[in-house]
Amino acid sequence: MLNEDTRAFLTRLAGARPADEALWVEALTHGSTGAARNYERLEFLGDRVLGLAIAEWLHALGTGDEGKLSQRLNALVARTTCAAIAREIGLGPHMLLGKQAREDGGQDSDNILGDVMEALLGAIFLEQGFAPARAIVRKLWTDAVTGQTGQRKHPKSALQEWAAGNRRKTPEYRLIARSGPDHAARFTVAVAVRGIGEAEATGSSKQEAETLAAEEFLKRFG
């Protein structure tokens, strides 16, 4: 069952005291615990609840064509965004992890935090319905939606979101050439999105070249 701190945390989050505590324990439980029920099924449901809530919100804002809307949607429901919101509300200490997962830093893992955040939305949906779940999404995601998430991003992140929004596979980077002495090396990198095209750029580090290549790709094809 839930401890008092976690019960109070969930009551603040959901706006109501948890009714079916087993459901909320399931939402907080990682597979590493060996428990019969973990968050995976609720995360599957919560992902859809979040996606619909955000899609409806973006549509209501009335800006952007389908491609832009898809790009913003993908950014706003991304695991990294969910994890950032989970950190803001202090979710980490309430998650139930196995010993190894805790030792591996699971309490601050983007993957686990993001998944559990979605699982909690799934639990809220099951207990209270879509309208309260949507209201919670609108409360927690306000800064992300009204800010720059999915708009002005690092070129590599922007390209990844662009590819997802256009139903393409993840961009692939490859090192084409390295020249010059170690203290003044130059790296040439190509980035490709299957079915779209490829762009190249050169920089003083592999990371810089990848960033410039992503930027060039977006200028050319975005």
Output the CA–CA distances (angstroms, integers) from residue 129 to 123, 133, 199, in the order listed.
Answer: 9, 7, 47
**CB 15 within 8 Å of CB 136:** yes
118 is catalytic: yes
- What average pLDDT does the segment 113-128 reach? 97
104 is catalytic: no
**Between the ranges 56-65, 128-137, 206-215, where is the mean pLDDT highest?**
128-137
Least confident among 38-52, 69-83, 119-133: 69-83
| Full DSSP string of 78-126 | SHHHHHHHHHHTT-GGGSB--HHHHHTTGGG-HHHHHHHHHHHHHHHHH
Catalytic, out of 26, 43, 115, 118? 118
Q: Catalogue all structural domains in the chain, each as residue range(s) with its CATH number.
A: 4-146 (1.10.1520.10), 155-221 (3.30.160.20)
Report d(CA 23, CA 38) in Å as an integer: 10
Catalytic, out of 26, 43, 47, 215? 47
pLDDT at 32: 94
Report d(CA 26, CA 180) in Å as an integer: 56
What are the pLDDT digits (tens) for 10-64?
Answer: 999 999 999 999 999 999 999 999 999 999 999 999 999 999 999 999 999 887 7
pTM of the model: 0.67
